[in-house]
Chains A and B, each alone.
Chain A
Amino acid sequence: RKEVEQDPGPFNVPEGATVAFNCTYSNSASQSFFWYRQDCRKEPKLLMSVYSSGNEDGRFTAQLNRASQYISLLIRDSKLSDSATYLCVVNLFGNEKLTFGTGTRLTIIP
């Protein structure tokens, strides 16, 4: 089992639709969770941190399910500018290192 696993997609979604991704992680003692966004041929950038209580930032909602060891990202009212690869990132071992998933590619269709 991969340490951090994501469905690579691609997800092709019409503009205005709602889309959700899940990401599973292998270590139940993992400390921190993040979603990063990476545009084509660009560097990753933090989209949002994922807190135990869940958190929302505008159209984006992130949830953590420790019992089942997964995090999720929900995008509502999707925009063309949401087209990107979304990286699930986990601090698996409580140290200075983060482990990145391979990413889920999302394309929003006009």
Chain B
Amino acid sequence: NAGVTQTPKFRVLKTGQSMTLLCAQDMNHEYMYWYRQDPGMGLRLIHYSVGEGTTAKGEVPDGYNVSRLKKQNFLLGLESAAPSQTSVYFCASTRAGGWQETQYFGPGTRLLVL
């Protein structure tokens, strides 16, 4: 099992450009999450999904959109990148009943917005 994988690993964008981050998991997990991690801020939840076709906002959703068309994939989109979105993005997944379960993280995507 590959676990949770993220694509790409690193990306540089110019302000105003768009991009999509892909998260894939092969553990048949119901719940998937997107976080960003910034120095001194800890991990902050952007959006999450409790099942195929459903998404919900987290703590810092502005400027991001998500889609969960397939159970194993969770996409995070930046429509118009801003320097404030420079961060490390982590995807995670858990079995149903997510708050009691271990969150498995992907290796992260480092994004630099110039």
Interface size on A, residues (CB 8 A): 22
Q: Does A95 contact B (CB under 8 A)?
A: yes
Q: Does A32 contact B (CB under 8 A)?
A: yes
The answer on a CB contact under 8 Å between B103 and A46 is yes
- For B39, give the chain A residue with the smallest CB separation: A102
- For A43, give the chain B residue with the smallest CB separation: B105
Near A by CB (< 8 A), chain B positions 96-114 give 98-100, 102-103, 105-108
Near B by CB (< 8 A), chain A positions 64-110 give 87, 91, 94-98, 100-103
* Of B42, B99, B102, B105, the contact of A96 (CB 8 Å cutoff): B99
Neighbouring B residues of A32 by C-beta, 8 Å: 99-100
Q: Does A42 contact B (CB under 8 A)?
A: yes
Q: Does A52 contact B (CB under 8 A)?
A: no
Q: A43-B90, A43-B105, A98-B98 are in contact. List 18 more A-B contacts (CB 8 A).
A: A8-B40, A42-B107, A43-B108, A44-B43, A44-B103, A45-B105, A46-B102, A46-B103, A95-B99, A96-B50, A96-B56, A97-B45, A97-B98, A97-B99, A100-B35, A100-B43, A101-B42, A102-B40
By a beta-carbon cutoff of 8 Å, the part of chain B in contact with chain A is 31, 35, 40-45, 48, 50, 56, 58, 90, 98-100, 102-103, 105-108
